[in-house]
Amino acid sequence: MTLSPNVRLAPLALWLLTGAAHAACSKPFTMALETWPPYVYADAAGKPAGLDVELAQAVFREAGCTLIITGEVPRKRRLKMYEDGELTLLLAASDTPEREKTSYFTLPYRHEITALVALTSKAPQYADIHHFADLGSRKVLLLSPNTDWYGQDYADNLPAMRASASVAFFEDFQQGIRMLKAGHGDIMLGDLAALLWEARKQDLSVQELPMPVVSDEVHFMLSRRAATDTDIATLNAAISRLEKNGVLPQIRNRYGVR
């Protein structure tokens, strides 16, 4: 793998996940560490940890393939490196026609729930919010991640929320929970498991609101520059076996995720 001159990646782990009974992939696949607990993070020893790391490790081992995890890379740079072929695997991806032009998607390996939360003490007053359009009329300030897709209702109402100053953005969940804790927003949008993880870490009691946002299956996304149809079939077969024998459900259950 050739890296840009201004980027140096020190591998944190190289897993040779071989399975003698199953064909290996055509080449190793490389992903970057990120700070997105409980899915991906570095543990106290600096090693990759988290739900998605464990799921990827199990799948690649079962498939007899090799997964390389490099040092942490900022989100925007990570996406650019994937586009350039310097990284070849991204986690927790939604399958879209646009992305399929440059990427393969495996079978889904878990569900992801995007939800709204509020401070537990204030959650009842927001229980009757049913659409993002309600925020402006109710003068409710939403704290939202500054990127990603959060459903058509969010996309349709985002311009109006911006115009009415009904939305403020955060870069990561640590910052978002701090903003909610400090009263810089009324409700917060994001991945439910990540929100609850960070809220517990900051000793903040939050409650999920009834309004549904997005519930979707997520996939491993592999660059078409690197992966082959056979690689995807190999990984899909591994996912199917691990779902059937209960290995993947057992890992997800330990984290309270479907």
CATH class of 13-111+218-254: alpha beta
Q: Where are the domains of the chain?
A: 13-111+218-254, 112-214
DSSP code for 50: S
Question: What's the whole-number average pLDDT of the chain?
Answer: 90
Record the tokens describing residue 90, joined without a space.
């991204």
Q: What confidence tens digit (pLDDT) does each residue in 59-81 have?
A: 999 999 999 998 888 888 999 99
Q: What is the pLDDT of residue 20?
A: 43
Whether 114 contacts 215, CB under 8 Å: yes
Record the tokens describing residue 189, joined without a space.
């949008």
Q: What is the pLDDT of residue 136?
A: 86
Whether 91 contacts 40, CB under 8 Å: yes
Residues 71, 72, 75, 78, Cα dihedral to 10°: 0
Q: What confidence tens digit (pLDDT) does each residue in 154-189 have?
A: 999 999 999 999 999 998 999 999 999 999 999 999
Place of tokens 């500054």: 146
Place of tokens 């026609």: 97
Query: In this predicted structure, which of 25-39, 219-233, 242-256 has the lowest mean pLDDT?
Result: 25-39
The CATH number corresponding to 112-214 among 2.40.50.100, 2.40.30.170, 2.40.100.10, 3.40.190.10 equals 3.40.190.10
- Distance (Å, whole) CA 177 – CA 143: 9
Query: In this predicted structure, which of 17-26, 59-68, 245-254 has the lowest mean pLDDT?
Result: 17-26
Q: Do domains 13-111+218-254 and 112-214 have the same CATH topology?
A: yes
* pLDDT at 119 exceeding the cut of 90: yes
* pLDDT at 244 exceeding the cut of 50: yes
- 9 versus 207: which is more confidently predicted? 207
* pLDDT at 148 exceeding the cut of 60: yes
